[in-house]
Amino acid sequence: MCSQRNMPHSIWSLSPPQRKTLLQHVLVNDKYRFLYCYVPKVACSNWKRVLKVLSGALESVDVSIKMDHRSDLLFLSSLKPDEIRYRLAHYFKFMFAREPMERLLSAYRNKFGEIESYQKKYGVEIIKRYRKGRAKDPSVTGDDVTFGEFVRYLLDEDVEHMNEHWMPMYNLCQPCAISYDFIGSYEHLERDAEYVLQRIKAPPFVHFPVRQTWYKPVTTETVQNH
């Protein structure tokens, strides 16, 4: 795909909105000289824990705290163009991908099944738009959006302006504009995470967090059931 003529081969050839999205999703660690492009619903909370441990902001990846997705993290978007160029040229660059439908279902179950703010902001709009006779119904709460309705909504939306939790991985991390040294897979998360930690020469006490026992994974089977 990236060898095609019309594909971007530098972050500077992206449109300003595309570049802004990308730079806001690339995390920087200067001590271990790496860049990590995070994709929501692809283990990004655990990777952020690892980054906070490596920077000394967190004692251990196993500390039981709610993840703050902004504090104690350095984003490429906060650096000057020449600082960005240097890091893109000299740092180890990686991202993680996931089977797209499984990522989508994971976002759907999390955001519409558990988080009221998403139900109110997106759920109400989706139901009013796609459910017959509900366009002007004031009783719509947005907490019963079906997966089919959610998918219809996504097909009608402009990809560049989507919420990051369901924006396509390509648009978040632009793997043609940034030449990643490693693209890990969610399906082989433990193995690939271990490889990255070795490549960046992380201290031996830093490991990738194990999944919580309560975690219910989204699989090919659960996707088919929706």
Q: Is the per-residue pLDDT at 222 higher than 90?
A: no
90 & 107 share domain: no
Q: Residue 221 falls within a domain, yes or no?
A: no
106 & 81 share domain: no
34 & 130 share domain: no
Q: What pTM does this model have?
A: 0.90
Q: Residue 84 falls within a domain, yes or no?
A: yes
140 & 84 share domain: no
Q: Which residue shows structure tokens 């893109």?
A: 88
Q: Which residue has the higher pLDDT, 121 or 219?
A: 121
77 & 184 share domain: yes
59 & 147 share domain: no
38 & 143 share domain: no
Q: Residue 146 falls within a domain, yes or no?
A: yes
Q: Is the per-residue pLDDT at 25 higher than 90?
A: yes
Q: Residue 206 falls within a domain, yes or no?
A: yes
What is the model's pLDDT at position 215?
47
Q: Is the per-residue pLDDT at 213 higher than 60?
A: no
| pLDDT digits 0-9 by tens, 137-190 | 899 999 999 999 999 999 999 999 999 999 999 999 999 999 999 999 999 999
- Host domain of residue 155: 101-161
pLDDT band at 212 (very low <50, low <70, confident <90, very high): low
132 & 37 share domain: no
Please enumerate in sequence order all residues whose Cβ is within 8 A of that of 185, keeping only pairs 6 or more positions apart, or say none. Answer: 96, 97, 98, 192
The lowest-confidence range among 63-72, 120-129, 184-193 is 63-72
66 & 107 share domain: no
Q: Which residue shows structure tokens 């990777």?
A: 47
- End-to-end Cα separation, the chain, in angstroms: 30
111 & 187 share domain: no
Q: Is the per-residue pLDDT at 22 higher than 90?
A: yes
Give the span between the Cα atoms of 91 and 89, in whole angstroms.
6
Domain count of the fold of the chain:
2
Q: Residue 224 falls within a domain, yes or no?
A: no
Q: Is the per-residue pLDDT at 126 higher than 90?
A: yes
